[in-house]
Amino acid sequence: MERSDHNRTLALAAIFQAASLVKDLAWRGSCDEYELEVLIGSLFAFDSTTPEEIYRGEVSLRTGLERVRTQLESGGKPPDMEITRYAVGLIFLERKLQKRGDMMQQLADGLQGAQRQVDYFTLAHESVISRLGEIYKETISELGPRIIVQGEQNNLSNPDTAARIRALLLAGIRGAVLWRQAGGSRWKLLFGRKRLMNEAGHILQRLNT
């Protein structure tokens, strides 16, 4: 993947979009179904080489792009610390994952197995979501530290909602992989914030015209 501000911005948008949907599920018990399906689909885009291919075009990441712009334009504390905490946590966990070849293989095998369920059902079918949630628990959750999701207890204790949250966190890890492949790093996030914010603004402007 080309290392560019454009690709880094789209990858970061995917991470923030996953974090936003996690928050929606945790507090409201529901989220945008199309955006959920797009992010779940990214886990099975094994042969795609660009963010546009993986996420069905820039337009499907509109929510994430808006989050990138609003969360990064603040010079101090981001307006939504909860979403930022999830996003930063996903990037951190992906870095730990890269050092665990055994776990990466386990993750790849799990997704290949889940692909068979996608072929039989659909991307957002509860059976697929449940399996993805299990894969997250068996792999990423074991890395530590775990991402602690805040929300309404009724939602968090609901097995279907909990599985959706874990599946989205797994999709967030996918976005973090793309972020790294596109040249993203902690320093890029800290010191390249303005360039990422501006690129998100340019993409949104193009989508709105």
Q: What is the DSSP string of 37-82?
A: HHHHHHTT-TT--SHHHHTTSGGGGHHHHHHHHHHHH-SSS-S-HH
CATH of the domain at 79: 1.10.3890.10
Residue numbers of the chain with a pLDDT score lower than 70: 74-76
The pLDDT of residue 43: 96
Structural domain count, the chain: 1
pTM of the model: 0.95
pLDDT in the model for residue 74? 64
User: Residue 78 has what pLDDT?
Assistant: 79
Measured CA to CA, the distance from residue 171 to residue 40 in angstroms comes to 6
Q: For residue 89, what are the domain limits?
A: 5-141+148-207
What is the pLDDT at residue 73?
A: 80
pLDDT digits (tens, 9 = 90+) for 119-163: 888 888 999 999 999 999 999 999 888 999 999 999 999 999 999
How many alpha carbons fall within 13 Å on the CB side of residue 7? 19
